[in-house]
Amino acid sequence: MKKILVITTGGTIACGSRENGLNPEIGGPRLAEGLAPKNCEVRFIDLFSVDSTDISPLHWEKLNSTINSADGFDGIIVLHGTDTLEYTAATLSITARRDIPVIITGSMLPMEADGSDAPRNLSDAFAAVCSGKLTGVHVAFCGRIIPGNLAVKRSTAVDAFRCFSGEEYGLISDGVVSILKEPVFQKQFPFPNDPAPVAVRKLTPFMLAEEIYANGCCGMVIEGCGAGGLPDRPELIEAISAIAKNIPVVMTTACIGGTDLSLYSVGKRALCCGVIDGGTMSTAFAAALLFCTQGKCSP
């Protein structure tokens, strides 16, 4: 009999309706009632109960410690809100254990709402964690299995999550898990002690040079447009070049597939400024990597 640990952190899946809106309040045993396989022994830790918008590195540290110290389990399921799930998955993919499956899931509707996607997602998470086909951190959502370092939220529909590389790594249908591609994870690092933050900026036609600051940060991620690049604006180029001399500055994109700074002249302009090509890294994963390595491991 497999022993599975379910860790709850709040999020929409655990929400009840209140006068001030949806608020996480339902614990693990109630969420998993009737959904766990009969051949599993399931234990629960209600670690915290927050909207994932409120998730911070302090929560990641506690979650990572709980996962890495949970001995005697064959797999772990983390229930999480969807808004920052990709950041949590990216961070845990670097810092969490890889000897057992750690499956992160949530839902777009509360577990107790009519037509909720939560029962399917949690059932799929149980199927994934019990399959014997996975190790390391993955996201299970709407029938997909996505490596934690590649998961991105792209809509508010029930199939909100995609693989940033554009590939399919695994599928779950009627409890049957199919692995289509083996994931490649970044080198593992311990969760940083007394970490410095990472600056994340979105490049737009409105951006001012004054917005490009990173005091006290260990790195910066600039989410650009398309394949990536910098506009021909001297004050912006000067600001980014100055920062890139002191900390790693990585360019990413919201576009599935990633950046290629060698493709266009605007991308080569970014390279000349010392900007690092994020390639197939999402913004969340690039930020997580800089955070976990404190800027010492460039992409």
Indicate if 12 belongs to the active site: yes
Q: Of residues 288 and 17, which shows the higher confidence score?
A: 288
Does residue 298 sit within a domain? no
Q: In what helix (H) or strand (E) does residue 129 lie, and over which residues does it extend?
A: helix 118-130
- CATH number for 69: 3.40.50.1170
Decide which of 151, 179, 207 is a domain's last residue.
179
Decide which of 115, 147, 179 is a domain's last residue.
179
In the predicted model, is pLDDT for residue 298 greater than 90?
A: no
- CATH number for 271: 3.40.50.40
Does residue 280 sit within a domain? yes
pLDDT digits (tens, 9 = 90+) for 44-90: 999 999 999 999 999 999 999 999 999 999 999 999 999 999 999 99
pLDDT at 186: 86
Decide which of 152, 179, 206 is a domain's last residue.
179
pLDDT digits (tens, 9 = 90+) for 267-290: 999 999 999 999 999 999 999 999
pLDDT at 160: 97
pLDDT digits (tens, 9 = 90+) for 86-140: 999 999 999 999 999 999 999 999 999 999 999 999 999 999 999 999 999 999 9
Does residue 277 sit within a domain? yes
pLDDT at 278: 97
Q: Do both 13 and 110 map to the same domain?
A: yes
Residue with tokens 């797999």: 75
Pick the catalytic residue from 62, 202, 264, 268. Answer: 264
Q: Do both 52 and 95 map to the same domain?
A: yes
In the predicted model, is pLDDT for residue 237 greater than 90?
A: yes
Pick the catalytic residue from 9, 12, 95, 259. Answer: 12
pLDDT at 270: 98
Does residue 159 sit within a domain? yes
Does residue 137 sit within a domain? yes
Q: Do both 171 and 209 map to the same domain?
A: no
Strand segments, DSSP code E, in the chain are 2-10, 15-18, 21-24, 40-50, 75-79, 101-105, 136-141, 144-147, 151-153, 161-163, 170-173, 176-179, 198-202, 219-224, 249-253, 276-277
137: left (phi over 0), alpha (psi -120 to 50) or beta: beta
In the predicted model, is pLDDT for residue 299 greater than 90?
A: no
Pick the catalytic residue from 51, 83, 117, 277. Answer: 83
Indicate if 181 belongs to the active site: no
Does residue 117 sit within a domain? yes
Predicted TM-score (pTM) of this structure: 0.96
pLDDT digits (tens, 9 = 90+) for 145-184: 999 999 999 999 999 999 999 999 999 999 999 999 999 9
Q: Do both 215 and 173 map to the same domain?
A: no
Q: Do both 175 and 208 map to the same domain?
A: no
pLDDT at 147: 98
Indicate if 169 belongs to the active site: no
Give the rounded distance of the alpha carbon of 49 from its chain centre: 18
Show the domain range for 61.
Answer: 2-179
Q: Do both 20 and 152 map to the same domain?
A: yes
Q: Do both 134 and 262 map to the same domain?
A: no
Pick the catalytic residue from 8, 153, 252, 293. Answer: 153
Cα–Cα distance for residue pair 276/241, rounded to 1 Å: 11
pLDDT band at 25 (very low <50, low <70, confident <90, very high): confident
Pick the catalytic residue from 8, 9, 51, 82. Answer: 82
pLDDT at 19: 64
Q: Do both 155 and 213 map to the same domain?
A: no
Q: Do both 135 and 244 map to the same domain?
A: no
CB 4 within 8 A of CB 126: yes
Give the rounded distance of the alpha carbon of 84 from its chain centre: 7
Structural domains in the chain (count): 2
Does residue 46 sit within a domain? yes
Indicate if 82 belongs to the active site: yes
Indicate if 264 belongs to the active site: yes
Q: Do both 220 and 276 map to the same domain?
A: yes
Q: Do both 271 and 139 map to the same domain?
A: no
Does residue 254 sit within a domain? yes
